[in-house]
């Protein structure tokens, strides 16, 4: 695509649509919006625009579409695949003014919310009505719900409550050509033509700009119990994961953490934890429900499974504070590794019984390429985040050889029945690995869908493929 640069006249046209006070070209703002949480990537936009409603976005998209100016939508800027980076410059569309929770419908257990609402704020708002919106990525304190939709984000509760796909009922979307549609209906079931709601979820802002979101809600459980199982080996902890489900129980969270991740959060994040010798891996297992007796029965069943799988110690978090400390340890891990090492994060996912093969394979590949890794994640879903650490790798190898190692990791996930991202998306940083998973025919189908929505290719160009 041949994109056009933004001229002073074009800038005036933008101001005419959104108002001069919503348009920023100062250096400081451009720098603030030139990166997300993905490592090592910076792309300056030519202008940052902060519209306040769908109509303004429609005007903006029509304008950009006519002038062949690229436009990149951005949520909370917490992405880990570079999805919100304006690779070709142009307009950076920040959704930060879309902050309204428009309705919490306790009759239908639904809510309508704008995409710029911070996920945790939404979770808290519905919790005040005794309801649960269970999609809570680790970045929930700063990510936007619109970004979660765009990336098909997950979090620990997917294992019991399902992915974000099961909670998004309907979306108001501004198409790249400026038209506004609702993708579906506010219903739990929908068999009325191609499901554009589902197509939008995980499309990473390349098919349209979401301006309203209708979510399903479920009753919030009254109780939860959190257990922490210690293992001598990664492999036995990973093998315990599928054994837990085979026992017929469904935890509300089942997270894996490698010893090294725990060491880092203890060292850098002021988290108190008695890390014992000989313990090399942990499983955090949570059960929730309305009946404590039932929860304890499930815990007992899991306890027996853990013992049989070589778990050396099981700890119960008794108080709300203990629970929150353990969760904070898990949530802080990415940030901790990131702040204290040169690293790259990959988001592998496999059928859960393949986790032992996956983690052993990652370590074996690391051994051959000379990188180390800290692994943790939503093991209950087979979703393992791999933080690759530079460690003793030379700068040159890090720059030139690491890619081959990452490619091998993705080839492994793919061979195990998995894929190259479970919840972070493809964005900019995984797109070169797409051919591992997809044939050219398959990629061309995706490209034709993009073409159908965005014939000029102006919306979030350079992402996915």
Name which of residues 91 to 130 contact a copy of itself (CB under 8 A).
105-110, 130
32 vs 250 by CB, closer to a copy of itself: 250
Minimum distance, C-beta of residue 361 to a copy of itself, in the bound complex (Å)? 16
Number of residues in contact with a copy of itself, rule: CB under 8 A? 91
Q: Give the three-class secondary structure for 16.
A: helix
CA distances from 341 to 345, 375, 428 (A): 12, 14, 22
DSSP β-ladder status, 343-349 and 253-258: unpaired
Supply the angle between the helices 234-246 and 355-369 in degrees, to the nearest 10: 160
Residue 199 interacting with a copy of itself (CB under 8 A): yes
Residue 194 interacting with a copy of itself (CB under 8 A): yes
Strands, sheet with 47-49, edge to edge from the N-terminal-most edge strand: 23-24, 47-49, 91-94, 71-74
Q: How far apart are CA 439 and CA 437, in angstroms?
A: 7
Contacts of a copy of itself in 218-247 (CB under 8 A): 218-219, 242, 245-246
49 vs 420 by CB, closer to a copy of itself: 420
- Which DSSP helix (H) or strand (E) runs through 246? helix 234-246
Q: Which of 162, 94, 198, 136 is nearest to 331 (CA)?
A: 136
Tokens representing 324 are 């929150």
Minimum distance, C-beta of residue 285 to a copy of itself, in the bound complex (Å)? 16
Residue 438 interacting with a copy of itself (CB under 8 A): yes
Minimum distance, C-beta of residue 411 to a copy of itself, in the bound complex (Å)? 13
Residue 383 interacting with a copy of itself (CB under 8 A): yes
45 vs 146 by CB, closer to a copy of itself: 146
Residue 186 interacting with a copy of itself (CB under 8 A): yes
Cβ neighbours, 10 Å, residue 42: 10
Over the window 129 to 168, marking each residue x when it contacts a copy of itself by CB under 8 A and - when it does not, the resulting string is -x--------------------xxxx---xx--xx-xx--
6 vs 168 by CB, closer to a copy of itself: 168
* DSSP letter, residue 20: G
Minimum distance, C-beta of residue 22 to a copy of itself, in the bound complex (Å)? 26
Q: Give Cβ neighbours of residue 319 (< 8 Å, ≥ 6 apart).
A: none
Residue 288 interacting with a copy of itself (CB under 8 A): no
Tokens representing 154 are 């997950």
Asked whether the beta carbons of 289 and 223 are under 8 A apart, the reply is yes
Asked whether the beta carbons of 281 and 259 are under 8 A apart, the reply is yes
Residue 188 interacting with a copy of itself (CB under 8 A): yes
Among 137, 418, 461, 462, binds a copy of itself (CB under 8 A): 418
Among 453, 457, 458, 460, binds a copy of itself (CB under 8 A): 453
Asked whether the beta carbons of 295 and 224 are under 8 A apart, the reply is yes
Among 187, 303, 312, 360, binds a copy of itself (CB under 8 A): 187
Minimum distance, C-beta of residue 45 to a copy of itself, in the bound complex (Å)? 24
Among 40, 179, 364, 432, binds a copy of itself (CB under 8 A): 179
């Amino acid at each position: 695509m041949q994109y056009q640069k933004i001229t002073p006249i074009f800038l005036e046209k933008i101001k005419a649509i959104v108002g001069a006070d919503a348009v920023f070209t100062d250096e400081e703002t451009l720098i603030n919006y030139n990166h997300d949480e993905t490592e090592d990537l910076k792309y300056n936009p030519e202008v940052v625009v902060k519209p306040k409603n769908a109509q303004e976005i429609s005007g903006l998209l029509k304008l950009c579409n006519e002038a062949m100016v690229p436009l990149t939508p951005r949520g909370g800027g917490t992405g880990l695949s570079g999805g919100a980076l304006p690779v070709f410059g142009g307009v950076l569309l920040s959704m930060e003014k879309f902050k309204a929770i428009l309705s919490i419908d306790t009759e239908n257990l639904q809510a309508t919310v704008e995409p710029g609402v911070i996920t945790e704020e939404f979770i808290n708002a519905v919790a005040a009505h005794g309801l649960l919106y269970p999609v809570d990525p680790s970045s929930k304190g700063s990510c936007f719900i619109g970004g979660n939709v765009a990336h098909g984000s997950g979090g620990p509760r997917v294992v019991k409550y399902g992915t974000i796909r099961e909670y998004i009922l309907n979306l108001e979307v501004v198409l790249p050509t400026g038209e506004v549609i609702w993708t579906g209906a506010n219903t739990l079931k929908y068999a009325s033509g191609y499901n554009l709601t589902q197509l939008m979820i995980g499309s990473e802002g390349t098919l349209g700009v979401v301006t309203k979101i209708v979510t399903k809600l479920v009753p919030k459980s009254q109780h939860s119990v959190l257990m922490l199982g210690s293992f001598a080996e990664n492999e036995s902890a990973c093998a315990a994961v599928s054994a837990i489900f085979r026992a017929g129980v469904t935890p509300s969270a089942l997270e894996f953490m490698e010893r090294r991740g725990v060491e880092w959060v203890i060292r850098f994040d002021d988290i108190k934890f008695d890390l014992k010798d000989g313990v090399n891996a942990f499983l955090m297992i949570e059960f929730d429900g309305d009946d404590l007796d039932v929860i304890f029965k499930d815990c007992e069943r899991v306890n027996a499974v853990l013992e049989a799988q070589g778990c050396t110690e099981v700890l119960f978090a008794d108080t709300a504070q203990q629970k929150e400390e353990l969760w904070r340890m898990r949530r802080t891990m990415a940030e901790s590794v990131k702040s204290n090492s040169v690293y790259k994060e990959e988001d592998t996912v496999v059928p859960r019984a393949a986790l032992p093969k996956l983690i052993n394979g990652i370590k074996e590949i690391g051994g051959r390429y000379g990188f180390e890794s800290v692994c943790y994640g939503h093991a209950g879903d087979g979703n393992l985040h791999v933080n690759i650490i530079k460690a003793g790798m030379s700068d040159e190898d890090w720059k030139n050889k690491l890619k081959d190692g990452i490619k091998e990791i993705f080839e492994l996930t793919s061979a195990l029945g998995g894929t190259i991202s479970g919840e972070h998306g493809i964005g900019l940083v995984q797109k070169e690995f797409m051919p591992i998973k997809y044939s050219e025919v398959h990629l061309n189908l995706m490209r034709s869908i993009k073409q159908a929505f965005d014939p000029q290719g102006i919306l979030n160009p350079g992402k996915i493929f």
